[in-house]
Structure 1
Amino acid sequence: MILVTGATGTVGREVVRRLPSDLAIRVMARDPARVTGASATAEIVQADYGDPQSLVRALCGVSAAFLVTSRVGDDDARFIQTARSAGVRRVVKLSAAAVADRRADDLITRWQRDNEDLLRGSGMEWTLLRPRSFMSNALSWAASIRTQDAVPALYGSSANSCVDPRDIADVAVRALTEEGHAGRTHMLTGPEAITALEQTAQLAELLGRPLRFEELGSEQARTALRRRYPHDLAEALLESAERQREGGKARVEGTVPALLGRPAGSFRGWARDHLSAFASL
């Protein structure tokens, strides 16, 4: 039995869609009604990291699990402890590329480092997926593109080797269903480092209309982030943007093509497949 957590999130829902229907699959979600793309044979269960008994039920009989957490706190610790007690053999964890950057010391990166350490010390087989920023982060511009033909962002000329979430999901499925990934850390990037200015130009070309890039100042960005996130998380995201400005997110890795036997997906390809999100109202 394979358990998929984070099944309604950006990567988890793609993992659910890609797992072979002839395997025993259990899908875990806080709100099962939001799960899409699961095979007719998949079991969908309601569970929450903060509810220990629901985790016990979700992990009963599971041999391999895809672990995704998003709330800074003890969710990983609860899951790992319960999984070990339930006899889970293999855990594939979605982490972050920043963990490998010694200059990164923000709240989110420290939390992910601690979580990786917990998994490595659990006694279970582990595989760590460390993706660079998701190409789907560009969806945060969708409303302003639809209504104002504008892309507001920090540091428009700084490059990020962002990755298609579908590539992350393809690697996750390999790690869950194949041998040879235990004890390995997979750094996942797209095929090139691309700037927000370049992304804006590509979106404009695909949409067939001009878009303007609006460079945000640091305080403008801070104000915008604090509308959406608690103070510590907003500051962590600003620190992350500063590392990108300094070139810390431009390195391209060959892991995706090496594991999947094909080129990593480009931003243009991702944008083409999600263009309706940016179309004018």
Structure 2
Amino acid sequence: MILLTGATGTVGREVVRALPPGVEVRVMAREPARVEGAPATAETVPGDYGDPRSLRGALNGVRTAFLVTGGVAGDEDARFLEAARAAGVEHVVKLSAAAVTDPLADDLITRWQRGTEDLLRASGMGWTLLRPRAFMSNTLSWAPSVRAEGVVRSLYGSSANSCVDPRDIADVAVGVLTDPGRHRGRAYTLTGPQAVTAVEQTAQLGELLGRPLRFEELEPERARSLWSGRHPAPVVEALLRSALRQRDGAKSGVEQTVLELTGRPARSFRDWAETRLPAFTPL
């Protein structure tokens, strides 16, 4: 039995869709009604990292689990791993982040991810770490201004990021979950096929939409103000520090891991954008 967490999130929903038929799977979600695309044979159960009873129920009979957490500096990983170990889970595949491998990355989010990786490695269970670069889908945050104004606003528009399609992360995750022994004790950095800048992404979106888009550089203080409406102050500062690392070239490296593990090249930003054009199209 495979347990999937994070099934309504960016990567988790793609993992659910990518599951091959015949795999015995259970999907845990705070709101099970929001789970979409699960196989007819999948079991969907309510579960919350803060509710030990729900974790015990979700983990009963599970051998392999996909772990996605988002509570920065919280104890979600510790709670889940404790329950998983008690339930006899043999292998945990964790969604982490590429920044953990950068010795110059010392922001709050990266320190938290490193700590959660350490918890898993020390758990006594088998483990695999998936470390993606930024999700291509992060550019969906541009959709409102693209639809209304034909404008993309972002920090450091000429800095490159080897961002990755969430579908590629999901395909790798499914391969690991269905053959965990082959990947035991491995950590995989996942990127797209090339590094792209926000200016280049803006141009590609404009070409696909058939309308000119303008890029406007955000000043750091403006970015801080915008992000403060969505994130706590410590997370905002971590995001700003992360953006500085990108400006300095820390996120431009390209890995061939998707090709090596799936047998096909990673999807490009244009590939991703072609499937999401309605989000950027004026109503």
TM-score band, normalised by shorter chain: over 0.9
Q: Counterparts of 1:214-225 in structure 2 under 5 Å?
A: 214-225=216-227
Q: Is it true that 1:103 corresponds to 2:104 in the alignment?
A: yes
* Equivalent position amino acid for 1:82 in 2: A
- Unpaired runs of 5+ residues, structure 1, are none
Superposed structure 1 runs of 4+ greater than 3 Å apart: none
- Indicate the SS of the match to 1:173: helix
Q: Is it true that 1:136 corresponds to 2:119 in the alignment?
A: no
Q: Which residue of 2 aligns with 1:275?
A: 277
Deviations 1:131-165 (A, max 9, x none): 00000001000011001100010000000000000
Rounded Cα–Cα distance in structure 1 between residues aligned with 2:231 and 2:175: 33
Rounded Cα–Cα distance in structure 1 between residues aligned with 2:189 and 2:142: 26
Rounded Cα–Cα distance in structure 2 between residues aligned with 1:90 and 1:267: 32
Rounded Cα–Cα distance in structure 2 between residues aligned with 1:259 and 1:23: 19
Q: Which residue of 2 aligns with 1:94?
A: 95
* Equivalent position amino acid for 1:221 in 2: A
Q: Counterparts of 1:155-234 in structure 2 under 5 Å?
A: 155-178=156-179, 179-234=181-236
Q: Which residue of 2 aligns with 1:36?
A: 36
Q: Which residue of 1 aligns with 2:116?
A: 115
- Indicate the SS of the match to 1:206: helix
Q: Which residue of 1 aligns with 2:60?
A: 60
Q: Which residue of 2 aligns with 1:150?
A: 151
Q: Which residue of 2 aligns with 1:13?
A: 13
Q: Which residue of 1 aligns with 2:262?
A: 260
Displacement, 1:246? Answer: 0.4
- Indicate the SS of the match to 1:50: coil
> Percent same amino acid among aligned pairs?
68
Deviations 1:213-264 (A, max 9, x none): 0100000000001011000011111111000000000000111111111110
Displacement, 1:3? Answer: 0.3
Displacement, 1:19? Answer: 1.3
**TM-score when scaled to structure 2?**
0.99
The count of aligned residue pairs is 281
- Indicate the SS of the match to 2:183: coil
Rounded Cα–Cα distance in structure 2 between residues aligned with 1:237 and 1:157: 17
- Indicate the SS of the match to 1:228: coil
Q: Counterparts of 1:237-256 in structure 2 under 5 Å?
A: 237-256=239-258
Displacement, 1:23? Answer: 1.4
Rounded Cα–Cα distance in structure 2 between residues aligned with 1:140 and 1:134: 12
Displacement, 1:21? Answer: 2.5
- Indicate the SS of the match to 1:70: coil
- Indicate the SS of the match to 1:251: coil
* Equivalent position amino acid for 2:274 in 1: R
